[in-house]
Amino acid sequence: MLETSKLLPGEAVFRHVIKAGDYWIDTLRRGQALRIVDVEGNQSADTLFFNAADVADRYSAVDTIREQGNVYLSCGTKLLSTSGQVLARIVADTVGRHDTLGGACASESNTVRYDLEKRTMHSCRDSYVLALAQHDALGLGKRDLTHNINFFMNVPVTSDGGLTFADGLSGPGQYVEMQAEMDIIVLISNCPQLNNPCNAYNPTPLEVLIWDGDVA
């Protein structure tokens, strides 16, 4: 479902551009709104969410899909944790559909999907591991890298239940916005993938904006 936001970029308390292939990690406080902007279009924001009070309680694709009865995420979706709590909810979306099945690219998946020589190419998992190593005070480790959301990524489900990668549905300046229902840690990998059309074979920047207060 498409829904534009009433929040103005000039009133944001935080703005940051995530360069292509880079990561961003921070804590979002309860009631704050986070907007992820697809600056040039067709980029993928591979995103992880954790309960800041208990990082073992993290985003669950299984619970989120089951409770909403839809494999795609959009405005109105509640992002559920492994304990069934609502971490955040999507309150605005100009794209209309986001993936939570395809997972994050890694050296292993690059090898299986594409070629043995692709193993050393930079991946989202590499960005995740680097982020956790550089922010070890958050108490996160490799075992916490589980389900993620691929905002702006188009992964159609085939008639036989398989997954395919297709051209993105997003365009320049389109965005998704969510409100934190508790204090959460957000980790975004600006996907560096060069081997499939999820970002038109050309990684580009993302922008994140944060606002204080209740946006409901």
Percent of the chain surpassing pLDDT 90: 69
Residue 133, token pair as written in the block:
């190593």
Does residue 3 lie within any of the structural domains? no
In Å, what is the CA distance from 124 to each residue of 44, 96, 204? 10, 23, 14
Answer yes or no: is 145 within a domain.
Answer: yes
* pLDDT tens digit sequence for 94-120: 999 999 987 777 555 555 565 556 555
Strands (E), 39-183: 45-51, 54-58, 72-73, 78-80, 86-93, 98-99, 149-151, 174-180
CA separation (Å) from 104 to 30, 62, 179? 26, 16, 23
Residue 26: inside a domain, yes or no?
yes
Residue 117 included in any domain: yes
Does any domain span residue 216? no
The pLDDT, as a whole number, for residue 168 is 72
Report which secondary-structure segment, H or E, holds 190: strand 184-190
* 1 located within any domain: no
Domain count, the chain: 1
- Asked if 24 contacts 191 with a C-beta cutoff of 8 angstroms, the reply is no
What is the C-alpha to C-alpha distance for residues 137 and 175, in angstroms, rounded to an integer?
A: 30
Beta bridge partners of 151: 45
Please tell me the least confidently modeled range out of 29-33, 141-145, 167-171, 201-205. 167-171
Contact predicate 155/18, CB 8 Å: no
In a domain, 162, yes or no: yes
pLDDT average, residue stretch 130-154:
93
The answer to the question of residue 18 being in a domain is yes
Range of the domain at 16: 9-211
**What is the Cα–Cα distance from 88 to 31, expressed in whole angstroms?**
9
